[in-house]
Structure 1
Amino acid sequence: MSIPAVRLHVLPIIRDSRGSLSFAEYEKTLPFLPKRYFIVFDVGEGQTRGGHAHSTAHQLLVCVNGSCLVELDDGTARDEVSLDRPELALYIPPKIWATQRQFSRDGVLMVLASEVYDPNEYIKDYDEFLRVAK
């Protein structure tokens, strides 16, 4: 990963005759205590989600079904991560520009956030992001 602050975690999996279970625990695999979660689904072909950074919120992205591509930018380096298994969890700290694209038809992205929703905490202008990221 060319952006050191971003981390891809491989979550534990428990499999038995009833099916599979993947999980994360605060302080073990979750680097923050979630205060909010949301789910992104039914994303149309060619559509993107995200396209912003957060000034204070940390996020953990898990594609619980299907797949999507996450594009990341810290103002100096860029990277891409494919989330295509439910045990892959992408940690994104504040001040990282993130865009999700190439959702599969069955793609379901769950996002855990360290903060409750606050529209003023979003950085939606890329030029402003570049100033803040330095």
Structure 2
Amino acid sequence: MRGSLTPLENGKGLPFVPVRNFLVYDVASSRVRGEHAHRKCEQFLVAARGGVSVVVDDGRSRAEVRLTDPSVGLYLAPMVWGIQYKFDRDSLLLVMASRPYEADDYIRDYDEFRELVNR
């Protein structure tokens, strides 16, 4: 009757304290986001509204997860390739990150990522 509430408390329920948070929205269903890995940054993704599919790839295996419940999130460790796609029309993706934006932390080339993972 009063709706739902999902608490987000710093230092609780995540393996890191979020330093940077951002929202991804107004993404057409045919578009793809992500397509990178981080060297050090950890992330936690929550579909705050609607749904989005996420591909996670550790360089050895790949899986797809569909996020549709705002009380459930997906942890992306460093050195995991992430792709977000199949955004619902009204989707709102909340991303919590363990580090500030650092351009050098991004690995945007999949071949380079695979090479680093296999070292």
Following superposition, the deviation at residue 26 of structure 1 comes to 4.2
**Deviates further, 37-46 or 24-33:** 24-33
Aligned residue in 1 for 2:21: 37
Please, which runs of 5 or more residues in structure 1 have no aligned partner?
Answer: 1-16
Please, which runs of 5 or more residues in structure 2 have no aligned partner?
Answer: none
Instruction: Give deviations 1:64-115, integer Å, cap 9, x for gaps.
Output: 0000000010000000110001011101100000000000000100000000
**Alignment equivalent of 2:104, drawn from 102, 120, 125:** 120
Calculate percent identity across the aligned residue pairs.
45
CA distance in 1, matches of 2:111, 2:67: 27
TM-score (norm 1): 0.84
**Alignment equivalent of 2:76, drawn from 92, 96, 99:** 92
Aligned pair count reads 118
Aligned residue in 2 for 1:130: 114
Tell me the C-alpha RMSD between the 2 structures: 1.1
Which structure dedicates a bigger proportion of its chain to strand? 1
Say whether the 8 Å CA contact 1:70–1:98 is kept in structure 2: yes
CA distance in 1, matches of 2:51, 2:92: 7
Q: Give 3-state SS (helix, strand or coil) of 1:21's partner.
A: coil
